[in-house]
Amino acid sequence: MTESALHVEHLWKIFGPRADRIIGTPDAELSRSALKEKTGNVVGVKDVSFDVAPGEVFVVMGLSGSGKSTLVRLLTRLIEPTAGSVVMNGQDMTAASEAQLRDLRRNHVSMVFQHFGLLPHRSVIDNVAYGLEVRGVSKKDRRATAAQVTELVGLKGYEKSYPDQLSGGMQQRVGLARALAGDPDLLLFDEPFSALDPLIRRDMQNEVIRLHRELGKTMVFITHDLAEALKLGDRVLIMRDGEVVQIGRPDEVVGAPADDYVREFVSDVPKSHVLTLKWVMRPVSDEVGADSPVLPAHTVVREAARSVLANRGPVRVSEDGKIVGMVDDEDILRVVVAEED
């Protein structure tokens, strides 16, 4: 296993009395409602394992009640896990002492919250500087850093405003700036844009994409919005009733849904925006000319469409320098036009 930014193994959270006695017993295999019926306990997160690579944007997607917000809180122990381990920065969070945990929270991981969680009695700049302040950075230094970050998220000029004077989108920019100010290795987002209206949400998503491009931070992003998950995620984890249903790249989730639940879920997604040539190509046959253009297999169909349609015959698809297949107009159009298959 390569060095991962975040390594989660067999993570459990069971709410209720004597939660720790359930794991390992046959009760743990019960469905959520059956367990509640039998013991009064509720499973929040059930045996979840995954790895996040450095610099990756990892999205956890699920409907409300699926346990995704619990999962992200287990990572920094805002909620104490019942069992399992979370390793970040080479340290097992679940075994960390109070002091170690505080150190990790101060220096290595920051979180952005759905309802912002800003301090109403502090100006924007002092909110942004809060993480640095608890770390013990001097007022002058933290203000200077905070001012830079505030500018980075597009709030220059609002440093002295107070949270209740700002719109929701701007408040979330403050939340984002606060998370960035500490220069953490890992950023956690808990449905950060769910409370915002669609246009602002799109702006903020683009903002995150831009920041990711500029800063290259590892991100774990929680959302209930599939479009958001597919747009932002390098990989997507789909959760249901506390369990992992599927983990994969957006095109894998759309192209090869793990079960009917996921299939139902992704049925409305415009596939040409997500699927790559890998998912539509056919084995190479005689039809393809030796001089036809070559496109990499990870090209998204929508982007490939123009060159494929412009070419007279099929186009070759390559992966790792080898020709692995071909696509023609028909293959492209089947995805672009006949979305409703």
* Interface ranges with another protein (CB under 8 A): 15-16, 32-33, 36, 42, 44, 63-65, 67, 69-70, 73, 76, 78, 101-107, 110-111, 113, 115-123, 130-131, 133-135, 160, 162, 175, 178, 182, 188
* Crossing angle of helices 329-336 and 301-310, rounded to 10°: 140
Scanning 186-246, the segments in alpha helix (DSSP H) are: 198-215, 226-232
Would you say 63 or 209 has its CB closer to another protein? 63
Report in angstroms how near the CB of residue 115 gets to another protein at its nearest. Answer: 5
Would you say 43 or 315 has its CB closer to another protein? 43
Is the distance from CB of 259 to CB of 82 less than 8 angstroms? Answer: no
Report in angstroms how near the CB of residue 147 gets to another protein at its nearest. Answer: 16
Would you say 171 or 276 has its CB closer to another protein? 171
Report in angstroms how near the CB of residue 105 gets to another protein at its nearest. Answer: 3
Report in angstroms how near the CB of residue 54 gets to another protein at its nearest. Answer: 21
Would you say 158 or 279 has its CB closer to another protein? 158
Report in angstroms how near the CB of residue 98 gets to another protein at its nearest. Answer: 9
Write the Ramachandran bin of 55: left for phi over 0, alpha for psi from -120 to 50, otherwise beta: left
Rounded to whole angstroms, how far apart are CA atoms 259 and 306? 32
Q: What CA–CA distances, in Å, run from 279 to 90, 251, 255, 265, 271?
A: 37, 8, 7, 18, 10
Backbone angles phi, psi at 181, to 5 degrees: -60, -35
Would you say 183 or 329 has its CB closer to another protein? 183
Consecutive H or E run containing 240: strand 235-240
